[in-house]
Structure 1
Amino acid sequence: MISIKIENVRVLDPIQNTDRIQTVFIENGKLVAASDQVSETIDGEGKWLMPTMVDLCARLREPGQQQHGTLKTEGKAARENGILHVFTPPDSKPIVQDNGALIHGLVEKAMLDGGIYLQVIGAQTQGLQGNQPANMAGLKKGGCSAVSNANAPFANDDVVLRTLEYAAGLDMMVVFYAEEHQIAKDGCAHEGFIASRQGLPMIPALAETVAIAKYLLMIESTGVCAHFGLLSCGASVELIKIAKEKGLSVTADVAMHQLHLTESLTDGFNALAHVRPPLRAEKDKQLLRQGVKDGVIDAICTHHEPLSSSAKLAPFAETEPGITAFDTYVALGIQLINEGLLEPLQWVKTVTLAPAKVAQMVERWTQEAGWVLIDPELEWTVSKSSILSQGKNTPLINQKVMGKVLQTFSA
């Protein structure tokens, strides 16, 4: 079998927990001891080699919203940026993730069109209406290992309890994107001076923390395995820490942009900074960073949400929330390293092994994962032409960043 030789590359291997410079051979996306049939030799000096990444939250916009992105465009963007396994919430338009029979076709199309392993999170309630539990047994048969109600509200807390009991009986994980809708209402920005001065409807941090506290009590009562995605508040980190110390089966992730960006970017009604949950205060950012460093927050996801240019043209509160994130994911991760928050191998774990553990798919990931060659010192400008995603909606546009994927090696 033909192989690729990479000389003097820094190999960051979270499975073996090793960080060393060596010469490696890659065949069919796997490291091999040696090879006599080398098709290409790459000078790896100054470069990093790490496993392909696992993203716990990304919206690829298909089916139903192809004006923003498709499985082909977003799959390619993910793969070219070193992300091979992508989890997507169950809120496509129309919603198909409450029907196990339709999910297999979506997974096949993602591999055929975009070359990625799509992991579909099933709907927690029928049509995400929040009234009746979805057919979770059928979803599990269709390949779902987790369910969520995404950002949709539940009719009442009794529905939540019944769905948690149902999921626990099937040994399925429940994913919460915690927000108390009675508190958040129609808000679009973090509750603080900047939003208040601009007259924007606000989402208090309390909307997230109240929801997390309530769900944690239900999790403790039902014994279900739960994951809290897209944390945005410093107080949320403390709640997750307490839950873990109590022995609850709970994990959490944070979007990469929440570790770098704050509410200050919304000043001047900058719609490119409109995301949900909203960008929070500097103090929240620092506490989220500490949560990652301490391991309270298990993983970092992209929260990739590509949008067409017209989706950001209305007044701030009327624009669609979302940031395109595949293309800047590695650069922002390397920024965390350069700023001294994480060591390189620590960062690699938060985007590879840790999310695979959260999703209970370590064995499958190790079988399917390839390798990613990165230049951590390559400086480039975030621009509409450099972004591979169909969506160009990022507040980082025209900024210089450092670190980029050079090549993804996979089967």
Structure 2
Amino acid sequence: MKNLLPKNWQQPKLANVDTDGKWLMPPIVDLCGRLREPGHQSYGTLASEGRAARQNGILHIVLPPDTNPVLENGSLFKGLREKAYQDGSVYLHILGALTAGLKGEQPANLAGLKQGGAIGVTNARAGFDDDMVMLRTLEYAATCGLKVFFYPDEPSLSRSGVAHDGYIASFHGLAGIPWLAETIALSKQLLMVEETGIVAHFGQITCRTSVELIRWAKAKGLPITCDVAMHQLHLTDDDLEGYNTNAFVYPPLRSKTDQRALIAGLQDGTIDAICSHHEPLSSSAKQAPFGECVAGISNFDTFVSLGCQLVADGILTAEQLVEKICTNPAKIAGIKDYETIGGAVLIDPDLSWQVDKNTMLSSGKNTPFMGEKLTGKVVEIFF
């Protein structure tokens, strides 16, 4: 057995457990998982997605505020966290809305969000009314000592697109989303981080130039971290071939050049973490033509297998994988009781399984890996 638990971590009792060839690691911390409750229970619930997460080794989940209603009332957070644990046995870490209603027009009650236990604030993928609103709101967040989570996107460049702006989109007649939509927004946000002094995290970066900008900003000493979604490390826009709606996700799958840059950034520490970007959907949500259906990939069930593949391919060591999906995300999310809660996950990195509707625990079966054989699976959880 390869013991990947941090020093001083409480060791689980492994009597009568087959540990031969397996990895023992801390619980996974997911920096972005949409559980569809409140507001979209036809796609999933705290119960269904919580159970899927937990059985796949994911005990801690960061929830963005773009639910229905928007998460902008800090007094409601305690009840939501309690319900997530009661229904799904997972620990929810909530991001509050940076602006009222995520409309980008005026700041939300950031002081109230902090008092309610928000781990940070974000405007999700919604834009701002203008840059002055963004600047003043970030200054307010700085005075409250709140970390700001950015998901870089310039709506004027991306709003009509459904796929990466490249050959595949052009060949299929799909409206493209240029890489500039991400990097122009990222450049602006980095400058505002420097100006306001906020601590910031950049979620789900997808392209080569974003990696270069993050690398430059870190070298300059800006207080930032970033993550990439697991599927961006395994899929590219080539996987849209045949109008595969299960590969329709936002931000879009990028080119192989972008993917190579993401992998290099993961290896050299520019990219701190890997998130699931779990977005479960009903089968009907993916039945419309490409671009007219709902974007999103269900990722809880495949997350560990795809992580094991990174190790098998020599991209990361098992120890580095633990950093990217466990310890670094816990630090980014500010989970002070991560070690106190403890627990452990036992993974068989050589266990093969087939992805199908019966083996997936999530209510959402919307995955481009449907029907494939993957290797690596959680076999025991100790929580």
Unaligned 5+ segments in structure 2 are none
Question: Equivalent of 2:2, from 3, 10, 28?
Answer: 10
**Is 1:103–2:103 an aligned residue pair?**
no
1:12-411 alignment to 2 at 5 Å?
A: 12-13=4-5, 15-16=6-7, 30-31=10-11, 40-95=15-70, 97-361=71-335, 363-410=336-383
For 1:113 and 1:252, the matched residues in 2 are separated by 30
Report the alpha carbon displacement of residue 126 of structure 1 after superposing the two structures with TM. 0.4
Unaligned 5+ segments in structure 1 are 1-8, 18-28
Report the alpha carbon displacement of residue 94 of structure 1 after superposing the two structures with TM. 2.3
For 1:409 and 1:42, the matched residues in 2 are separated by 11
- Please report the TM-score for the alignment, with normalisation by the length of structure 2: 0.98
**What do the CA deviations read for 1:296-316 (whole angstroms, capped 9, x no partner)?**
000000000000001100011
In angstroms, what is the RMSD of aligned CA positions? 1.3
Report the alpha carbon displacement of residue 93 of structure 1 after superposing the two structures with TM. 1.8
Report the alpha carbon displacement of residue 30 of structure 1 after superposing the two structures with TM. 3.8
Question: Match for residue 23 of structure 1?
Answer: none
Q: Is the 8 A contact 2:199 2:224 kept in 1?
A: yes
SS in 2 for 1:300: strand
Q: Is the 8 A contact 1:84 1:369 kept in 2?
A: no
Q: Is the 8 A contact 2:93 2:333 kept in 1?
A: no
Equivalent position amino acid for 1:62 in 2: E
SS in 1 for 2:231: helix
Runs of 4+ in 1 over 6 A off after TM superposition: none
For 1:383 and 1:203, the matched residues in 2 are separated by 31
Equivalent position amino acid for 1:31 in 2: Q
| Higher strand fraction (1 or 2) | 1
- Please report the TM-score for the alignment, with normalisation by the length of structure 1: 0.91
For 2:196 and 2:66, the matched residues in 1 are separated by 25
For 2:162 and 2:7, the matched residues in 1 are separated by 43
Report the alpha carbon displacement of residue 191 of structure 1 after superposing the two structures with TM. 0.2
**What do the CA deviations read for 1:268-292 (whole angstroms, capped 9, x no partner)?**
1110000000000001111101111
SS in 1 for 2:291: helix
Equivalent position amino acid for 2:377 in 1: K
For 2:158 and 2:186, the matched residues in 1 are separated by 14
Report the alpha carbon displacement of residue 371 of structure 1 after superposing the two structures with TM. 0.1
For 1:75 and 1:360, the matched residues in 2 are separated by 20
Identical counterparts, % of pairs: 54
Report the alpha carbon displacement of residue 125 of structure 1 after superposing the two structures with TM. 0.4
* Larger Rg computed on CA atoms: 1
Report the alpha carbon displacement of residue 360 of structure 1 after superposing the two structures with TM. 2.4
- For this pair of structures, how many residues does the alignment match? 383
